[in-house]
C-alpha cells in the first residue's frame, strides 16, 4: 500500500486533468476498474463540471530577481489559478499570497476550482524577502474542455443491495490526504474480489473530491435505493492520531453501530464524533437531502479544534495541506490497521442474520449440548438468559452481539449450533 502512495504522489492530480486520468489508469492495472466520464460543462444536479486546468510556468519577480518559481515546487501556484501576466503593487500581491504560520518553512496547498482567481503559495519564512514596492506576476495556465473521471470497482453479490466505500484521488502532491485511503481501498478491492460472489454488492469508488460523488450519483440515481450505507475513507496512514469514526448525519444507523462495535472489539485506540465534526468531505454528498444514504467516515483526523479567538479550525494532522504531506508520513502499519477494521465491518455485514425461534418457552439447552458452564465461560453463561429473549425475530446476530458485548463471530458460531438443533431459523436480514 505504501508503494502505491509513493507511485501516485508525483502526479498533478487536479479534479479534471490528464494526470488524474493517469492515476486511474495505474489503479486499473491492479484491480478491475470501470471509468465513468462526465464532460466538462455538464450539469450534475446543481453543480457544473469544471474545465480541465493546466499550468506550464509561473513566477514572481521583483527588481530583476525571481522570488517564487513553479519550477522549484509545483505547489507554488494555487491549483486552478487564472492566467496572469502583469505588474502589481506589494499590497495587491499580498492579497493573492497564501502562507501558513503554523508551518513556516512549508508551502501551503490550495486549490480554487469554482471561484476563479489567481494566487501563489509561499512559505511564511520567505515573506521578509517580499520587500519591493512593485512585482511582476506570471501564471501561464490554460482551461480546456475535457471530462471528469470516476473509477468504480464493483464487488458482485448475490443480492443487489449493499454499501459504497470511497476515497478521493485528487489533491496533487499530497500523500496522506487522499492517497493513503486510495491505497487501503485498492487493497480492500483485491481481497474482496477473491471472495466473489459475496452476499451483498459493494461499490468501491475512486473520485475527485465532492464533485466526483455528485457526478456519479447524478448519473446513477437508480442505484440509490440499493445503497444502504456509504463509508468515506481519508487520512489513514499518519502517526499523529488514532482511528476516528465520524457518525452519519442520522447518527445511529446500522452502519454507525457496526463500525463502532468493530472498533471497540479491535483493541485499537479510537475516537468518535458526530457528523461534520471530524472531517467534512464526500460523506456530506451521500447523506445530503434527496439522497439520504447514511454515510460514515473513517480517518485518522484530529477533527475540529476551538482557537483562543473563538474560531473553529480543522486540524487533521500537522502536515495537512502543505508540502510536508509526503509519503514519509504515511506508515504501512497504520494502513494495515485501518484495512483490518474496514474488512471486519464488511464481515459483520456479510455474516449478519436474523434468528427466529422455532420453539416456545425456555429452551432445554443441556439436551442439545448448548448449555454453557459458568466455570468455562462465565460471561456467556450470565448472558444466556438475555440471549433467549433476544431470539425474538427482531434482533439480528449483530444486534445480539452488541447488546451482550460479545464477539460477533462467536455469536454466529453459537447460533449456528441452535439452527443445527432445529431451535431457530437464521433468516436473511
CA distance 294 to 301: 20
Q: Which residue has the cell 466473489?
A: 196
Mean pLDDT score of the chain: 95
What's the fold here for domain 52-144? Glucose Oxidase; domain 1 (3.50.30)
CA distance 346 to 193: 13
pTM for the whole structure: 0.94
Dihedral class, residue 264 (left if φ above 0, else alpha if ψ from -120 to 50, else beta)? alpha
Where residue 429 falls among pLDDT bands split at 50, 70, 90?
Answer: confident
- Residue 360 is given by DSSP the state -
Average pLDDT rounded to a whole number, residues 242-251: 97
Give alpha helix (H) positions in 95-174.
Answer: none
Where residue 3 falls among pLDDT bands split at 50, 70, 90?
Answer: very high
CA distance 353 to 239: 37
Other beta carbons within 10 angstroms of residue 383's beta carbon come to 19
Average pLDDT rounded to a whole number, residues 421-425: 96
Three cell numbers written together for 304: 475540529
pLDDT above 90 for 381: no
What does R_g of the chain's alpha carbons equal in angstroms? 26
What is the tally of helices (H) and strands (E) in the chain?
Answer: 11, 20
DSSP secondary structure string for all residues of 330-355 = --HHHHHHHHHHHHHHHHHHHH--EE
Which residues on neighbouring strands pair with residue 427, listed in sequence order?
Answer: 354
Give percent above pLDDT 70 in the chain. 100
Average pLDDT rounded to a whole number, residues 189-199: 97
Where residue 384 falls among pLDDT bands split at 50, 70, 90?
Answer: confident
| pLDDT for the residue 314 | 77
Residue 350 or residue 383, greater confidence: 350
What's the fold here for domain 2-49+147-351? Aminopeptidase (3.40.630)
- What confidence tens digit (pLDDT) does each residue in 269-302 have? 999 999 999 999 999 999 999 999 999 999 999 8
pLDDT above 90 for 374: no
Amino acid at each position: 500500500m505504501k508503494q502505491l502512495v509513493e507511485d501516485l504522489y508525483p502526479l498533478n492530480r487536479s479534479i479534471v486533468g490528464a494526470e488524474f486520468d493517469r492515476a486511474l489508469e495505474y489503479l486499473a492495472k491492479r484491480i478491475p476498474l470501470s471509468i465513468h466520464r462526465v464532460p466538462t460543462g455538464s450539469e450534475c444536479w446543481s453543480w457544473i463540471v469544471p474545465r480541465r486546468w493546466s499550468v506550464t510556468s509561473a513566477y514572481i519577480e521583483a527588481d530583476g530577481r525571481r522570488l517564487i518559481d513553479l519550477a522549484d515546487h509545483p505547489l507554488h501556484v494555487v491549483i486552478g489559478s487564472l492566467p496572469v501576466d502583469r505588474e502589481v503593487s506589494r499590497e495587491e500581491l499580498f492579497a493573492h499570497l497564501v502562507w501558513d504560520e503554523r508551518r513556516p518553512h512549508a508551502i501551503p496547498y490550495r486549490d480554487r476550482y469554482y471561484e476563479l482567481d489567481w494566487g501563489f503559495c509561499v512559505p511564511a519564512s520567505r515573506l521578509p524577502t517580499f520587500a519591493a514596492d512593485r512585482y511582476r506576476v506570471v501564471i501561464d495556465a490554460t482551461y480546456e474542455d475535457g471530462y471528469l473521471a470516476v473509477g468504480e470497482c464493483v464487488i458482485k453479490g448475490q443480492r443487489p443491495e449493499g454499501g459504497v466505500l470511497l476515497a478521493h484521488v485528487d489533491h496533487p502532491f499530497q500523500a496522506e490526504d487522499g492517497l493513503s485511503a486510495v491505497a487501503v481501498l485498492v487493497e480492500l478491492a483485491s481481497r474482496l474480489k477473491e471472495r466473489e460472489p459475496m452476499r451483498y454488492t459493494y461499490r468501491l469508488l475512486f473520485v475527485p473530491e465532492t464533485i466526483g460523488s455528485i457526478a456519479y450519483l447524478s448519473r446513477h440515481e437508480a442505484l440509490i435505493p440499493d445503497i444502504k450505507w456509504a463509508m468515506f475513507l481519508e487520512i489513514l496512514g499518519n502517526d499523529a492520531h488514532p482511528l476516528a469514526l465520524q457518525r452519519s448525519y442520522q447518527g445511529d444507523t446500522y452502519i454507525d453501530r457496526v463500525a463502532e462495535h468493530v472498533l471497540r472489539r479491535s483493541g485499537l485506540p479510537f475516537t468518535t464524533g458526530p457528523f461534520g465534526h471530524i472531517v467534512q468531505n464526500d460523506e456530506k454528498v451521500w447523506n445530503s437531502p434527496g439522497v439520504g444514504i447514511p454515510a460514515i467516515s473513517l480517518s485518522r483526523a484530529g477533527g475540529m479544534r476551538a482557537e483562543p479567538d473563538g474560531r473553529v479550525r480543522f486540524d487533521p494532522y500537522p502536515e495537512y495541506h502543505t508540502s510536508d504531506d509526503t509519503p514519509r508520513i504515511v506508515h504501512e502499519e497504520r494502513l494495515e490497521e485501518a484495512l483490518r477494521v474496514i474488512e471486519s465491518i464488511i464481515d459483520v455485514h456479510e455474516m449478519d442474520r436474523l434468528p427466529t425461534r422455532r420453539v416456545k418457552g425456555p429452551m432445554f439447552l443441556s439436551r442439545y449440548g448448548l448449555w454453557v458452564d459458568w466455570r468455562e465461560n462465565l460471561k456467556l453463561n450470565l448472558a444466556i438468559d438475555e440471549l433467549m429473549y433476544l431470539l425474538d425475530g427482531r434482533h439480528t446476530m449483530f444486534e445480539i452481539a452488541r447488546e451482550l458485548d460479545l464477539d460477533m463471530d462467536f455469536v454466529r458460531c453459537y447460533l449456528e449450533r441452535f439452527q443445527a438443533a432445529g431451535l431457530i431459523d437464521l433468516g436473511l436480514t
